[in-house]
Amino acid sequence: MKTLLQLIFVLSFSLISTHLTAGGDEKNSISQQEMAIQKLWKQLNRSIRLEAPFRTPGLDVRVEAQFLVKDDGTIEVLEIVGADADLASSIKRQIEALQLTDPFWLANQNYIVPIHLRYR
Q: What is the pLDDT of residues 48-84, one digit of tens each?
A: 999 999 999 998 999 999 999 999 989 999 999 999 9
Under DSSP, the state recorded for 101 is S
In the chain, % of residues over pLDDT 70:
75
Q: Is 74 exposed, middle or buried (CB count within 10 Å of its CB: 0-12, 13-18, 19+)?
A: middle
Task: Determine the structural domain holding residue 34 and report its residue range.
Answer: 2-119
Q: Which long-range contacts (CB under 8 A, 24 or more apart) does 34-40 make?
A: 35/105, 36/102, 36/104, 36/105, 36/106, 37/105, 37/106, 39/102, 40/69, 40/100, 40/106, 40/111
Residue 6: predicted pLDDT: 47
pTM of this prediction? 0.71
pLDDT higher than 90, residue 16: no
* Structural domains counted in the chain: 1
Which pLDDT belongs to residue 39?
87
